[in-house]
Amino acid sequence: MEFTTQMDAAKKGIVTKEMEKVAKKEKMEVEELRSLVAEGKVAIPANKNHKSLDPEAIGEGLRTKINVNLGISKDCPSIDAELEKVQTAIDMKAEAIMDLSSFGKTEEFRKRLVDMSPAMIGTVPIYDAVGFYDKELKDITAQEFLDVVEKHGKDGVDFVTIHAGINGETAEVFKRNKRITNIVSRGGSLMYAWMELNGKENPFFEHYDKLLDICEKYDITLSLGDACRPGCISDATDASQVKELMVLGELTLRAWERNVQVMIEGPGHMAINEIEANMVLEKKLCHGAPFYVLGPIVTDIAPGYDHITSAIGGAIAASHGADFLCYVTPAEHLRLPNLEDMKEGIIASKIAAHAGDIAKGVKGAKNVDNEMSRRRQKLDWKGMFELAIDPEKAQRYRAESMPEHEDSCTMCGKMCSMRNMNKVMEGKDINILREDE
């Protein structure tokens, strides 16, 4: 039996090779996974032209995945530098990489990225439109926006962020409800500006069926962008954000009717006490579609440390149902991240994702923590490093300050609780002051 997309196959009862691989990774029965894909509660972004892909799934009951943002800009246009980051992100087992290139002819970088990456690849086609056509934003036509999406589909992009929810109605709600930071989504601000400059409806909303034609053709997953995500905690959960979310819920159903997979993008900056309610709201209004969050960043006063503010919010969001975390680096709000910034962002995001998985009871999530605890109890340093999220840093810290006795560390020395409890439990004497072992 033939099928057009992963969702089409799932609805027809077909188990694809991508479903088989994902089910094995997730330790899930493949029929359960297929059912979730058919319902739209799980997405498997897998463009037919992405030949190097090692598929992953995003959604209900699965491990929380992380995304790494990369790409060239006018001020930092080095393709080689970005490709070094790509390889590092792949080595660090990021499940997704988004190419946010926003300068010049980005096709070379995008194609090389797709060719080399087993991780799923995402893009924001509106970023590429200005450079692709060498036109000012106002002069780009609706058809030209759609043609850029098609080009990304041909190139093998697995998911695209499309800001279709900032339609005329949402724009009016935004105008009536003042914010401190207005529209902070880069793609969302570009689309709003295009609408205002041309006095026209959002072309991705107006021609949504044509967009779905493209997505169905290549099996591109639609990541419905949150143009009105809050850019500060004061703007969170306001009328603009909620109005757009309602529109995205309607667009989700229309996409599923065409067997196009959907993810919903979410906040943004948000106080800790609002995160749980936002996760419930998204899942309710968007019919259980996978939720993809940037952060949330839980305070606005930590430039240079926003990988931490984001990890705090990400862990809480994941514990309450967020399925996909977009990493944030220490360079957020300041500059294009360098390689070390990227590494710190990945580690922080992986910690948040894993903490969320433990809280929401993902199958097997606690196993590695329990094994780490057993190795700590045994003072098995090599074994601990093998399980660490960042073994390189853990080994370097220990090597920089070696204790007199190798079964302890320089914090506690012979007062180490693990060392002394092991001795006592074995019926041995404890020697804190004496020189003998």
For residue 142, how far is the Cα from the chain centroid?
28
Say whether 187 counts as a known binding-site residue. yes
Residue type at 437 in one-letter notation: E
Say whether 322 counts as a known binding-site residue. no
Contact, 83 vs 158, CB < 8 A?
no
Say whether 326 counts as a known binding-site residue. no
Say whether 269 counts as a known binding-site residue. yes
The alpha carbons of the chain give a radius of gyration, in whole angstroms, of 24
- Which residues, 6+ apart, have CB-to-CB distance to 349 below 8 Å? 66, 307, 310, 311, 314, 325, 326, 327, 328
Say whether 227 counts as a known binding-site residue. yes
Say whether 416 counts as a known binding-site residue. yes
**Dihedral sign, Cα of residue 163, residue 169, residue 170, residue 175:** positive
Say whether 409 counts as a known binding-site residue. yes
Q: What is the DSSP string of 302-354?
A: -TT-HHHHHHHHHHHHHHTT--EEE---TTTTTS---HHHHHHHHHHHHHHHH
Say whether 76 counts as a known binding-site residue. no
Angstrom distance (rounded) from CA 397 to CA 197: 55
Nearest to 384 by CA among 371, 397, 393, 396: 371
Say whether 215 counts as a known binding-site residue. no
Say whether 81 counts as a known binding-site residue. no
Say whether 186 counts as a known binding-site residue. yes
Say whether 354 counts as a known binding-site residue. no
Say whether 397 counts as a known binding-site residue. no
For the annotated binding site for substrate, the residues are 69, 98, 127, 163, 185-187, 226-229, 265, 292
For the annotated binding site for [4Fe-4S] cluster, the residues are 409, 412, 416
For the annotated binding site, the residues are 69, 98, 127, 163, 185-187, 226-229, 265, 269, 292, 333, 409, 412, 416
For the annotated binding site for Zn(2+), the residues are 269, 333
